[in-house]
Amino acid sequence: MTIFNYQGRNSQHQLVSGSVDALSANGVAEKLLAEHITPTSIVVRKETVSLFGFLQGRFIRPHVNTEELETFCRQMYTLTKAGVPIVATLSKLAETVQSKVMVDVLHGAVETISSGQPLSVALKKYPTVFRPVFVSIVEAGENSGQLEESFLQLSDYLDLELRTIKQIKSATRYPMTVVIVLSIAFVVINFMVIPSFVKLFTQFKAKLPLPTRFLMAMSNLTIHYWPLLLLGIAAIVIAIRFILKTPAGKFSWDRWKLKIPIFGPLLNRIVLARFARTFAMIMRTGVPLIEGLPLVANAVGNEYIRTRILAMTISLEAGETLTRTALASNLFTPLVIQMISVGEETGAVDTLLRQVAEFYEREVDYDLKRLGDLIEPILLIFMAVFVLILALGVFLPMWDMASFAKAK
């Protein structure tokens, strides 16, 4: 929403002025005319923006998280099913939601619909909030007269996405905690523990053991060159982020992720579960197969798999069956291919795709439950090596010093 300053005359022909929040000057004029004010001047208010506000507006895109979007869909389903008009529904939701971005989106949607446009067109104006597949399902619901069912399907879909996200966070909480603790321990040891032993060790004339020399070198490097180390790390992070924004970089990264031991198969199943669930939802709302597949490809969240799915679209346009294109993609297991084949033969592809999604989701649940058990031994080995190097580096010279003192 933008703030506009206006001047005009009321019904008594008196000069009035003020400010109004709206998406456009036309929106301001409509509001003023509704209040029996004839506008003579409408201009955008010029405001002083802080540095933080400038950076936030320049680099941070408007965003609504998955939980807020799921709540929005569930409330839209409830109110539209009850027969509440769309404009009234959106206005009521705008009064209750907490997200400022969502409030602005809902007010903008109300203005668009009030001007005679359908809901799908209103949502399409906010691509950072509503993905193309979301808008397409809403549009299909409008065309079929089952808008409430579209929102119910979207709510169920987003609820499953939320559940998966929470499972991933829960499964990775312990490994992340261990990594953070080890990082803090590394800093404390290099800045506080090792320097306290350096003076003692340098007085020892004999050659220091390799683990001790390694620890001292690491400590000296960290203490004397930490600004350069931080700059180097920052430069590497920025370079990686820049590379990942390029199509080739993102494609290579998404392809490589699927090959990482332990995590790769899990990510693959998560992406394919999302593909099957989204594809089933698209087909159930009546979107044609060839039109729906590119929308599904853009929703999977993996550039490598997205490319494979788009290749399936080309094969379908050439007259190939869904089963053959799925088999040629090398994305699915033989069991899933068989399920798709049965669905295509019986004309119940959406039902079979939903079963495929449930199959992958069960696999994901099982993998996430085992993830901690698989990572824990690796972390224990890493911690053991860390402690061993530290112990050898500190205690070996102390034992040598004790032996030297006894010899005297």
CA angle 309, 315, 316 (to 5 degrees): 90
> Which residues, including other chains, have CB under 8 Å from residue 164's CB and lie 6 or more apart?
270, 273, 361, 364
DSSP state of 145: T
pLDDT, tens digit (0-9, with 9 covering 90-100), for 291-305:
888 888 887 888 898
Q: 64 vs 266, which has greater pLDDT? A: 266
Least confident range from 92-96, 201-205, 241-245: namely 201-205
Can you list the positions of beta strands (E) in 113-224?
Answer: none
Q: 374 vs 253, which has greater pLDDT? A: 253
CB 151 within 8 A of CB 73: yes
> Which residues, including other chains, have CB under 8 Å from residue 10's CB and lie 6 or more apart?
16, 36, 37, 38
pLDDT, tens digit (0-9, with 9 covering 90-100), for 84-103:
888 889 988 888 888 888 88
Q: 399 vs 153, which has greater pLDDT? A: 153
pLDDT of 2: 63
pLDDT of 237: 92
Q: Which domains does the chain have, with CATH numbers?
A: 2-59 (3.10.20), 66-159 (1.20.81.30), 174-408 (1.20.81.30)
Structure tokens at 385: 């090596």
DSSP state of 209: P
H/E segment holding residue 251: helix 247-257
Decide the pairing of beta strands 38-44 and 2-9. antiparallel
pLDDT, tens digit (0-9, with 9 covering 90-100), for 319-344:
888 888 888 888 888 888 888 888 88
pLDDT of 350: 82
Residue 45: pLDDT band (50, 70, 90) is low
Residue 57: pLDDT band (50, 70, 90) is very low
> Is residue 50 pLDDT above 90, yes or no?
no
pLDDT, tens digit (0-9, with 9 covering 90-100), for 169-191:
888 888 888 888 888 888 888 88
What mean pLDDT value characterizes the chain?
82
Residue 403: pLDDT band (50, 70, 90) is low
Q: How far apart are CA 200 and CA 243, in angstroms?
A: 47
